[in-house]
Amino acid sequence: MAWREIRNKGIHPKVLRALTSATLGKGVQPLSVSGRGIPAFLGTEDSGVSARQNFIRRFHATHELYKIKKTDQGKEFATRLTRVKPVKKVRKPPVEARYVPPKPKKTSASIANRIVEIFEGMTISELAQRTSQPISTLQEILVNVGEKADSEFDPISIDVAELVAMEVGVNVKRRHSDEGADVKPRPPVVTVMGHVDHGKTSLLDALRQTSVAAREAGGITQHLGAFVVEMQSGASITFLDTPGHAAFSAMRARGAAVTDIVVLVVAADDGVMPQTLEAMNHARAAKVPIVVAINKCDKPAADPERVKTQLGSEGLPLEDMGGDVQVVEVSAVSKIGLDKLEEALLLQSELMDLKSRVDGPAQAYVVEARLDRGRGPLVTAIVKAGTLVSGQHVVVGAEWGRIRAIRNMLGKTMDMAKPAMPIEIEGLKGLPMAGDDIVVVDSEDRARMLSSARTKKKKQDRLHKIEEGRIDARDEEEGEGEEEDDEKPQRIDLPIIVKGDVQGTVQAVTDALMNLNSAQVTVDIVHVGVGPISQSDVDLAQACGACIVGFSIPKPPSSITVAAARAHIEIKMHRVIYHLLEDIGNYIVAKAPGTFETRVAGEAEVLNIFEIKRGKTKGGEVKIAGCKVIDGLVTKSSILRLLRSGEIIFEGSCDSLKREKQDVETVGKGTECGVVICGCDAVQIGDVIQCMEQVNIKPKFVSSSGSVRIEC
């Protein structure tokens, strides 16, 4: 553009030089730019240019943006542009898994499983420390049970301490002290344990010159008996006879808990057996000394040295091997070595220096409990300390009552019972459990209150166990839910009602039946009771479809038997534990659904192939395999499998099976036949045709060494 044209447009030449030069000269002021181009010029009135300011080129922005940049909004915008935030990468899981809720945590030391020791005269402060409860809470409970709570350091009775502890939900264990009491020597309590049919009861018969074993059903002891034997030296020993069958493990455990010495009876001709080891473990757990009596030493097959070697290999320190366990060789039938056994027991009791408190409230232990139709609940017990007096109020487990009568093992009525005496108590309101402690209380009100608290605590513990069982079952179902449905075995519940003569045998039978659980059948004990079978038992069995099991009880009357037959209820009566478990085991096997498996029922070898033509409606040409059955049976209704060189070629149903042009259903071994497999045209000479069948496999009842089980 010519300078003349530029000047005519009103643009000064100096401005153009400044715009086209790399650097601006001094004295040139900033240029204001608008959207119309360059409306304001140097030397004009609107320019506002001062000759004393530097000129700054800003070709990238308009006049409005230039003003905005100097404000706070512009600075924030510039800062946001310069700072670039890093983008976080979100990692996705490789596989989308379904949500699994967290499993509820089980506290190992929950309050329901805690055991707190209490004693006579303990303070509220000590009880609060043991139960981990605030003192104010315990004082409120004391007021509710009718006791004063003036100070936290006031002593309370052991009964009140138990009430308060059970109210906060903990289990208690009573600790008694003999300080200041009259302590005197007492006879030892000896428990005879061992394997079934090793001669425990026969040995006791020889010691007390009686014949108890002959009166036992089946020749085996099925009750926990207690009696006193006067020895030839004049000393008296209290004996407990425990059953040896595997079903009576709980009875042996109770015997070891209350005893001072355990006599482990082992047959010289049989050796160490499973129940021998179990009895040994019970004695060790109770920390009770053992005296070994090797019985039946008069038999020709007796080998006492082998028995000693077996016991030594099981970790029992015998005297012959440098230990402290005495070993006596005896014979109950020939009455050999009985005097040596007596000396061993008395020596062991002298070493233990057995003494007990004679005065004060009695401590007793329930050995057995039964229900008599005329006298009500009867409890067989052994006094451990103190003196039990007729007429006292007692609490036995969750039951209570006032003692009406105390009898010894001969049935003679007594006014009181001293330590180590086996007695029978009459007068309880209900039937306690075998193994419960007998506690003497001051009044009837205190007995009622303590019994009610124990019943409440028992129900709470039962609900707690049921809830834990539900959680375990739920976890097991969730674990099984991940498996395929075809792999899950079918399982049914088998409800059973158990009635027995005494509480101990009912518990033993119940435990034995629960051990018969298997992967296909679950034994569900819906009700247990002591006494004969009643009409209410039949009604309950009809309501839940249960089977009634009676053990060592009288046969039910004809009216109950007829009612059970009409309701299709089975009643199984037994007096021997062997026969009971065998009968119930076979009953479980019959009720089990079983598992179906595919097995080879027969095999046939292809000797020739015949082709015949049928109508188009019947499939056209058909290949008939001329076979000879080499093993088992070939059935038309079964699935056939075609094998060639051991590999499966085809599998399908049988279309036709003929023998001598006659249609047959089954062909036996050594017989020739013609076979047509549906949809199979690849049959060749030399192939093998297998006949497959579905077999329902039932579980098996196994009895060995006195123990029984169900194998699936």
Q: Is the pLDDT of residue 268 over 80?
A: yes
Looking at residue 402, its pLDDT comes to 93
Higher pLDDT, 159 or 216: 159
Q: How confident is the model at residue 59 (pLDDT cuts 50, 70, 90)?
A: very low
Looking at residue 37, its pLDDT comes to 43
Looking at residue 54, its pLDDT comes to 46
Looking at residue 393, its pLDDT comes to 92
To the nearest 5 percent, what fractions of the chain are helix, strand and coil? 30, 30, 40
Strand partners, 265: 194, 293
Q: Is the pLDDT of residue 439 over 80?
A: yes
Looking at residue 472, its pLDDT comes to 63
Q: How confident is the model at residue 172 (pLDDT cuts 50, 70, 90)?
A: confident
Looking at residue 12, its pLDDT comes to 59
Average pLDDT, the chain: 76
Higher pLDDT, 461 or 303: 303
pLDDT in tens, 65-102: 555 555 555 555 555 544 555 555 555 555 454 545 55
Q: Using alpha carbons only, how large is the chain's radius of gyration in Å?
A: 47
Q: Which residue is it, tokens 């292809």?
A: 606
pLDDT in tens, 490-530: 677 888 999 988 877 787 788 788 878 877 888 888 888 88
Integer Cα distance of 493 and 553 in angstroms: 26
- Which tokens go with 645? 């060189």
Q: How confident is the model at residue 107 (pLDDT cuts 50, 70, 90)?
A: very low
Integer Cα distance of 142 and 101 in angstroms: 42
- Which tokens go with 401? 């009552």
State the pairing for strand pair 672-677/595-613. unpaired
Higher pLDDT, 209 or 568: 568
Q: Is the pLDDT of residue 276 over 70?
A: yes
Looking at residue 44, its pLDDT comes to 42
Integer Cα distance of 72 and 64 in angstroms: 15
Q: What is the pTM of this model?
A: 0.60
pLDDT in tens, 377-430: 888 888 888 889 999 999 998 889 999 999 887 788 999 988 888 888 999 988
> Once rounded to an integer, what is the mean pLDDT over residues 10-24?
55
Q: How confident is the model at residue 200 (pLDDT cuts 50, 70, 90)?
A: confident
Looking at residue 69, its pLDDT comes to 54
> Once rounded to an integer, what is the mean pLDDT over residues 150-179?
82
